[in-house]
Each structure stands twice: as C-alpha cells, then as structure tokens.
Amino acid sequence: MTRLGVNTEVRDIEQEGRTMELRSDEMRRVSAQHPALLQTGGVSRTDLSKPLILVHSNAGHSHGGSFHLDSLVEQAMMGVREAGGTPFKYTTTDVCDGIAQGHDGMNYVLPSRDYIAGLIEIYVQSHRFDGAVLISSCDKALPAALIAAARLKDDIPVVVVPGGSSEVGSNYLMSGSIGLTSVKVDSGSLPLEELEFVQRQAIPCVGACQFMGTASTMQVMAEALGLAPPTSALTPANEYHILESSRQAGNLVMRLLKEGLKAGDILSEASLRNAVVIHQATGGSTNALLHLPAIAHAAGIEFDVSLFDAMGQEVPYLTNIHTAGEYSSRQFWHAGGVQRVVALLRESGLLDLGALTVTAETVGKNVEKVLDSDFFRAVEGCLGNYATVGGSRKLNREDVIRAPDDPKNTYGSVAVLKGNLAPVGSVFKYSACDPAMYEHTGRAVVFNCEEDCYRAITRQEIEPGSVVVVGYEGPRGSGMPELYYVTAATVGLEKYRKSIALVTDGRFSGATSGPVIGHVSPEAFSGGPIALVENEDLIQISLRRRSIDVVGIQGRRKEPVEMRNVLEQRRAAWQQPAPRYTAGALGLYCRLAACAMEGAYMS
C-alpha cells in the first residue's frame, strides 16, 4: 500500500516455523483459558497464532472528535490483517474540555489524560499484546496515547493515528467563536439569538476543533515526534484520506514488529526536540508544555521545558492559524501540514532529520518521499477552493504557512517566564497576544477561583491596566482546570483586550488568546509565591526579559530586597488550605500531581 508517496508495504509474518519471539507467546504458553475465552467472539486458533495487535480508540458519543473514530478503527484493523496480524478493538472514550467548561467538571479533564494512558498500559500489559495502534483526536486523549506509547517504549511498537480536523463554519466561524460570542451575550452587548446562531454554524462536522488549540497541537506533535504517519496530523476528518492513514497505521505497526522496532526506538531526545521546533513554528497550544514533559518523563528522557523558550528564540513562526491568526487547522493541512513545515525548515539545521519514525525511516527520508509524491500538489489545489477571510481572492499556501525568509516573526510563539512570582516558571503564548502587552506592569486584583473572576470581568468591574491573578487552580489545588471563559472575556471585551493581563497557576484552552500567563509554578496550594499576592501589589510582566515579578505593594514600587522581605513575611503567615478534593479519581490526582512545569503527571 502506498500513501502519498510513503511506502508501507509489509510482507506477512510467517506463522509456521516462525523464529520471531512474540510477547503474546508467553500468554500462549501459560494461559490455558485464553483461546476459550476469545473464541466466544469468533477469534480462531489460527487468529491467535498470529501477532496480537491492540487497536485502541477513544470512540464514543462524548464529542465531535470521537463520534467518527470507529470508522478509523475498522480501517486500522484491516491494515493489521493485511499484514499478517490479528487486531483486537478496545475503547476508552474521552471527555471534552468544551463540554466541561463553566462547572467543576473541568477539574477532572487534565487528570483524565493520566487515567486513559494508564488504561492503555493496562490493556497492553495484561493481555500481552505485540503492538498497538492508538487512535484519538483531542485534547487529553491524544497526549494520553503518546504517554502510553512512552511507558511501553521497551515493550512494543506503537503507531498513533490522529483523528483529523473539522471544517470551518459559516463566514469562518469556528468552535472558539462560541465562547467569544457567549461573553458578549453575558456582558449584554449581543442578544441570545446571536449565540444560538453561532452554536448552530460553528462546528459543521466531526473532527478536532478547527483552530491551533490543544487537540490540533497534539495531532501535530504526534507527527512531529515520529509516532504518527507522515501527513496524518489534521487530515480532514470526513474525507477518505483519514481512512487511508488509519489503514496505513495497521500496516506500519506490523512492519515495525517485523523489523524489531519499538516505541522507544522512535521516541528520543531528538524527536522531542523536533516536536518543540515544530511547536514553535506553528504557534501551538501552551498545553503542549504540559504534555511533552509528561511524555518525556514516561519515557525516562531528560526534558527541560525551558527548551521551548530556547528554541523559540531561534525558530521562525511560520503559520497564520486561528487563534493567533486567521485560518483553520484543516486549511493548515491543505497548505501541506507538518510535512510542509518540515520541508521549509529542513535546510535550517533546526530539525534532526535523522530521527526515526513509524515508517521505519527517518524524518528526512519521509519528507523526501512526500516531496516526490503528488501530496503537496493535491492538497494545495484543494486550498484554492477557499477564499481569504476578506473574500478578495483564492487562498494560497503562503496565506497559511509562510516561508522562513518571510515569517510572521523570527522568534517563535511561546515563552517561559520566571521571577519571584514564578521561580520554577510560567508560560506565555505571546504569538496570540497584542504586542502592546508584551511589557506590562499593573496592580493585582486577586481571585481564588475562576468563577468570581469571570463575573468581575463580564460586569466590567476590573480597572484597565490591572493584572488579574487567579490562584489555587493548579494541579494539586484543583486538578488544573483551564480558564477559557475568563480569557475569552478578557479578549472579547474591547475595554480589556489591550489593557489587563491574567496570571494563574491554572492552564488555558488552546483557543485562548491575549495577555495571559499560566502554569505559574510552584502553584498556590503548594505555597508558591502566587499564594502570597495581595490586591494592589504591582506585578511586572516582561517578554523581553522573560520575567514575571511582584515589584511593589499598594501600588508603589519597592526595591528587590524590600520586596523579598515582604514576601517572606507573608509566607510566614500563610497557611495551606484544606484539600478541596480528597476522594475518588480527582482526589488521587491532586495528591499525586507533579508541578505544572514538569508536566502535571501523577508522580
């Protein structure tokens, strides 16, 4: 089978007289029950004599990114059978950040990543699978698949299949348009009927949300890491290309098994560095700064999140994708997607072209094959079916992915800020922020929950120039929910768009834009300095210096020594609050969660 110039031909693994030792052979030797238990589902002894491959997805009725995944599972299973294996379908659906917005359910969303990863690990280890195809679309399910692949690095080959992208709605409406419209309705500037119109029109089909949010970013990261096939990230979810990609994955996992390659041969320091470069070039979500460290930790690879900042000062920012730009994630794929970015950067020295991928070939070899195929011709031809946002002409590739000699900027998209407010670090996606707010000093307005903050902003009770601080929303404090509604309110109201900043130990949606700094570490619940901030403190944010500091009290600047003494006095008086969650899945996560800047994994 050939997919867009990438050869995936696999010879059947000989079953009679085979010399390959399989993990599943252990089960065959010691588990007398396994053929009897599986024959009830029509699995024959001939089936069980072949390599056993887990085909896991997050299919379900949970959201638009999961409805269609069963069709991809069918194709992946066909691919496994074609190549001489026996596939087994397992399903663990995922929850949706968008549906969890605005209520305490959001606190469970990040923890779900670790639980899904754990279940995949359990499936593979309990039933001694020889390989796995992991199919997922969205925010926590896809990083869960990557974390699971990292945990299984020494055991099996793993191929990840991204679930693709949705289409834009009427007049370039996207799922992020809903939150912004909701803010305007809540503030009284738009009627409810407008929100209902946007809700009906913004998400016309299945697939991940259409902007470079966390779902889209992690699809891109899967391909950049080499764990997903070339050209697979953000494939249109309702077109035949994604079915090809899924079938190819079934072929590929068998090829990797035959060649003795495991997930750990692909996931490496080089692949992680490549992912960071692609992230900075594409303006990816800040949540990647949670997920890549967690993936590295699971793989036992040293990874410092400051690599994002270091590479950000070298990597040109090439894409014009919403929310930091105009166009959609599907249009990014039509502009050539990840492979176009790799092709543009391959002479820069920024990428390790020798890193291995799930094709059993290198990043450099893959992009050569894509360049030799008709992939770019085909997808860019489809890009011409769209008009520019202004409607003046057909869309072309340079509207969506720019050349390195004509980038949106020459200094990446995400920064790590440190200072006396965030000694371990914090995250600022400056590519989605007006440059007027790159340097800002303002008086603190402190909240200890998102809901109170949202009310104050939508009622326009915050003074322009302020720095809004929301604490106790970190991993151990409350599961690290995303503060999307607060950020949508900040940029959705003209009064605040260029005048107030938001600082929190929580996280943000990939749909977030504006002057917002998250992942502040250490978090408030653990006694981090963000817990010591009081109303009227002066907070200084500087992208140029990569710093975030408390520089004064009661609106007056203090010398650094004075400020240090003030914070030490407050620390002496601070008392850790009682845990908000003590039982169940969330209670366990909050007890075990690592620092956000380390990946917020369960340690």
Phi/psi of residue 407, nearest 5 degrees: -80, 170
Q: How far apart are CA 77 and CA 82, in angstroms?
A: 9
- The answer to whether 114 and 101 are in contact (CB under 8 A) is no
Taking Cα atoms as reference points, which of 299, 265, 293, 266 lies closest to residue 279?
Answer: 293
Cα–Cα distance between 481 and 477 in angstroms, integer?
10
Q: How many beta carbons lie within 10 A of that of residue 87, not counting itself?
A: 27
C-beta neighbour count of 167 within 10 angstroms: 18
Beta strand residue intervals within 459-575, DSSP E: 467-470, 501-504, 516-521, 538-542, 547-553, 556-557
Phi, psi of 359 (to 5 degrees): -80, -5
Write the DSSP string, 147-193: HHHHHTTTT--EEEEE--BPPP-GGG--HHHHHHHHHHHHTTSS-HH
Q: Please tell me the distance from the alpha carbon of residue 357 to that of residue 256, in angstroms, as a whole number.
A: 10
Q: Is the preceding omega at residue 236 within 30 degrees of 0, hence cis?
A: no
3-state secondary structure 368-414: HHHHHCCHHHHHHHHHCCCECCCCCCECCHHHHECCCCCCCECCCCC
Distance CA(600)–CA(584), nearest Å, equals: 18
Residues taking part in catalysis: 509
d(CA 573, CA 570): 5
What contacts 25, CB < 8 A, 6 or more positions away? none
Q: Rounded to the nearest 10 degrees, what angle do helices 269-282 and 288-299 cross at?
A: 170
Q: The tokens of 20 are what? A: 């390959």
Radius of gyration, alpha carbons of the chain: 24
Cβ 601 vs Cβ 593: under 8 Å: yes
Which residue, chain included where needed, has tokens 């945990």? 151
Own/partner pairs, 18-22, CB within 8 angstroms, 24+ separation: 20/258, 22/51, 22/52, 22/130
Nearest CA to 332 among 216, 442, 473? Answer: 216
Q: Residue written as tokens 């992991």?
A: 134
- Pick the closest to residue 174 from 364, 12, 349, 332 (CA basis): 332
The answer to whether the CB of 281 falls within 8 A of the CB of 111 is no
Contacts of 99 (CB under 8 A, 6+ apart): 62, 63, 105
